[in-house]
Amino acid sequence: MHFPISLGLLLAVGASAAPTAVPTVTCENNASDGTVFTAQNAEFDIICGVDYAGGDMGAQGVATFAECITLCDTTPGCVNVAFAPWGQCYLKNKNTTPTANPGIWTAKGKKGLSGLTCVNNFSDKKTYTTHSGSTFEIECGVDYGGGDMSA
């Protein structure tokens, strides 16, 4: 049995999907202030003109604020970023007292620390289950001497 298929349907089926665009996020004229940026692993509150001084994990040059947020999203222990619009991204591992700074664009993780990390003992006493079903209890700052299989 044959069913007629229109050429339009064939073209639609054969078309490739366009790549997903990264949303534009900016503090120019406070455009994104108070919005939420959804990254792959977490959501971030956008706060224009505020810095959480301290907790610096390092700085890296980036092209956009979105790239800075994505870098934090994929870095264990990162809870917020301070982005300087000339392209400098400062990753932070703690939220301190907010300070007004009109030259800084902040993205603050809504859930705080994510992933497995012993920064601030975040994962201490948590249970981790592997894809195969094995479970491990995380113990930060503890070493059981001996029995090493390799380094």
Domain ranges of the chain: 28-114
What would be the CATH architecture of the domain defined by 28-114? Answer: 3-Layer(bba) Sandwich (3.50)
Per-residue pLDDT band for 134 (boundaries 50, 70, 90) equals: confident
**In terms of Cα–Cα distance, which of 32, 14, 13 is closest to 22?**
32
> C-alpha angle 72/74/77, rounded to 5°?
65
List, for residues 17-68, the tens digit of each pLDDT value. 444 555 689 999 999 999 999 988 889 999 999 999 999 999 999 999 999 9
Type and span of the H or E element at 14:
helix 7-14
Distance CA 105, CA 64 (A): 11
CB atoms within 10 A of CB 91: 20
| This prediction's pTM | 0.62
List, for residues 77-126, the tens digit of each pLDDT value. 899 999 999 999 999 998 888 999 999 999 999 875 556 677 667 677 87
Token pair in block for residue 6: 């229109």
